[in-house]
Amino acid sequence: MKKTDYKHGTFTILKSEIDTDDFSREDYEAYCEDNDLEAGDEDEFFDWCADETEANYEADMDNIEHCREYNVPVVVTGTLGLWWGHPEIKPERFESVADAIRRCMNGSDCHDVLAEFKDGVITVNCYHHDGCNSFIIKALSKKGIAKQYAEYKDHDFKRLPYLYAIGI
């Protein structure tokens, strides 16, 4: 059995898009049976998928908020996907990954969000009517934390662990 390398690669940590491929009809029917409900048609299956997606999103965000390794100072960089172009944002510091993700979603009329762990950084894509705002969240090293106003360099950052591999 091949062991998964959780230090390198791409892994989803937060997702709000409803994707019926994430759930099976059998899971829905088992849920209905366990809760003394009658399984419905495709519309009711989709509604159940939406409810499950929202519950997973809230649980994932709660895990991000309470993870000790994610409650560290971070910097967000990225670009905005606007109808007239893709301007870069000014790097902004936050005290946790959760605060940074919330800020990425705020103000963009975000319909769906996808946050992924990619080789020690968090990428956040916020989809909206004009396109997609794309952000990168990096944890600050001790040197980076000490900086106040200077430009950040590579040595000012450290790797984040993959949220769901901590303690494995």
Tell me whether residue 3 is in a domain: no
For the chain, what is the mean pLDDT? 92
Boundary residue ending a domain (66, 97, 123): 66
Q: Give the pLDDT score at 167.
A: 67
pLDDT tens profile 24-34 = 999 999 999 99
Q: How many domains are contained in the chain?
A: 2
Tell me whether residue 116 is in a domain: yes
Dihedral sign, CA of 81, 83, 86, 88? negative
Long-range pairs for 93-96: beta carbons < 8 A, 24 or more residues apart? 93/140, 95/71, 96/65, 96/70, 96/71, 96/72
pLDDT tens profile 49-68 = 999 999 999 999 999 999 99
The residue range of the domain holding 140 is 72-163
pLDDT tens profile 140-160 = 999 999 987 788 999 999 999
Domain co-membership, 81 together with 155? yes
Phi, psi of 111 (to 5 degrees): -90, -40
Residue with more model confidence, 167 or 104: 104
Domain co-membership, 84 together with 159? yes
Q: Give the pLDDT score at 108.
A: 62
Domain co-membership, 57 together with 41? yes
Tell me whether residue 168 is in a domain: no
CB-based contact 21:123 (threshold 8 Å): no
pTM of the complete model:
0.91
* Residue 168 clears pLDDT 60, i.e. is over it: no
